[in-house]
Amino acid sequence: MELSLKEVLEATGGRRLQGEEEQTFTGVSTDSRTLTPGELFVALKGRRFDGHQFVQEAARRGGRGVLIQRPLPLPDGVAAVEVPDTLRALGDLAAWWRDRLKAPVIGITGSCGKTTAKEMVARILGLKRRVSASPGNYNNLIGLPLSLLRAPLDAEAVVLEMGMSVPGEIGRLSQIARPTVGAVTNVAPVHLEGLSSLEAVREAKAEILQGLGGESTFVYNGDDPYVKAIARRFSGEKIPFGKGEDTMVRAKEIRPEERGTTFTLLSPWGEVPLRLKVLGEGGVYSALCAAACALAVGATLDEVKGGLEAFEPLPMRMELLELGGVKVINDAYNSNPAAVKAALKVLASRGGRRIAVLGDMAELGDQAKAFHLRVGELCAELGLEGLFLLGDLAPAVAQGARDKGLNGHVFIAQDHEELAEALSSFLKRGDWLLIKGSRIMAMERVLEGLQGRLQG
């Protein structure tokens, strides 16, 4: 990209402290460690950090300008713009850049599956278009603006993910991105510490409508009553997806396979058989969402098929591995009640002994114990042969399982190392193992411990 100081002032309404208006920047950075020469450094201020402490370092690394909240001494030749709030200004700058993009912008939010759906859309559209997609889960008030600002002017599609930690965040992200197509994957009990109820989660996801214009299309999960309630508020074009007869992009004849899932996709554009390398119905819903988004911006069914069938599972998201004859479903990236239920159902459908390795689900507030009890009950109902647990709420999962009569082995570990050691003694060739927990639990460390033991 090329951005002038004059344009930065126009986009942010900031005050020029030094530098010439014709001065240009090659990009925007919020991290002085990865800044490349020629970029504009945005000094963000958070609860545990202050980017203003790294302004001098950014200048030493070749930063050509800085966006700051207070005047600071700077070398000659480094432009400076003062704004009241650098985070707000970063979003304003991204919104200004979005105005210059001619490509359709697809924005995806939801409680579960949004990263997978985003990557699937990018895979489909990338077959024949220049696609700019947000990397990883760059989905917050920093990541989404940076993703937009990195989209080149000649991009033919931009695919963004929208996450949240507090009410109002998705609304702001949608206003910045102004999606051509906005999508909601589902509403599930996530972030309940800050939102308290599913109705509050629904309202947070509904904020995506704030950035949709009259020409936008709303893609939504037509099997989710909370998402359907959001859709009723939108008067523009809508594409519901799901399994129900009243959805437009629909899956039928869903069949699980050892290394993926097959189904037939039905749509107003025609129907096509699909073979995904993704396990479980959650992957099917992500694929349906991605297909609907891609079709809405002009992709063909052949592109949908080609992109979805080529898609590889993301690391630590229902990723299938094999260790010493044990099949491992590595779903350690994150966890919530809906995602655990879906993953456990996939595990239960496998042959051989089924063993779940579960870490705590975070951010469930006052309902945390009840949700963990229910997970234990589900493990018993599914008849799992082993349950290995880690975290402060592990006793609640164990209690739920035992109260429901789980006959399998139950073990609560104090740390990852103890858990890996106990598992390595219990596992046999032909077993199926699910590893899942919230990000704070870093359950991939259990897998790392097993790799040395089972392959050593």
The residue ranges of every structural domain in the chain are 3-84, 101-310, 319-455
Query: Is 321 in a helix, a strand, or coil?
Result: strand
> Which residues, 6+ apart, have CB-to-CB distance to 355 below 8 Å?
384, 385, 386, 387, 388, 408, 423, 426, 427, 431, 432, 433, 434
Tell me, what's the pLDDT at 189? Answer: 87
Query: Is 170 in a helix, a strand, or coil?
Result: helix
Tell me, what's the pLDDT at 456? Answer: 58
Question: Which CATH fold topology does 319-455 show?
Answer: Protein-Tyrosine Phosphatase; Chain A (3.90.190)
Q: How far apart are CA 278 and CA 296, in angstroms?
A: 23
pTM of the predicted model as reported, rounded to 2 decimal places: 0.94
Tell me, what's the pLDDT at 274? Answer: 99
Choose which CATH entry (3.40.605.10, 3.60.110.10, 3.30.70.141, 3.40.1190.10) describes domain 101-310.
Answer: 3.40.1190.10
Q: Which of 312, 390, 318, 376 is nearest to 349 (CA)?
A: 318
Q: How far apart are CA 228 and CA 243, in angstroms?
A: 14
Amino acid at 110: G
Whose tokens are 């359907």? That residue is 228
Tell me, what's the pLDDT at 191? Answer: 76
Q: Please give the DSSP secondary-structure letter assigned to residue 64.
A: -
Q: How far apart are CA 346 and CA 332, in angstroms?
A: 15
Spans of the chain, pLDDT less than 70: 456
Tell me, what's the pLDDT at 452? Answer: 81
Both tokens of 153, joined, read 């002017």
Amino acid at 37: P
Q: Contact at 8 Å (CB) between 361 and 376? A: no
Give whole-number Cα distances, 360 to 76, 198, 333, 440, in Å. 52, 20, 12, 9
Tell me, what's the pLDDT at 453? Answer: 84
Say if domain 3-84 classifies as CATH 3.40.50.300.
Answer: no
Q: Note the pLDDT tens digit of each residue in 5-28.
A: 999 999 999 999 999 999 999 999
Give whole-number Cα distances, 395 to 357, 398, 425, in Å. 14, 5, 22
Both tokens of 163, joined, read 């996450």
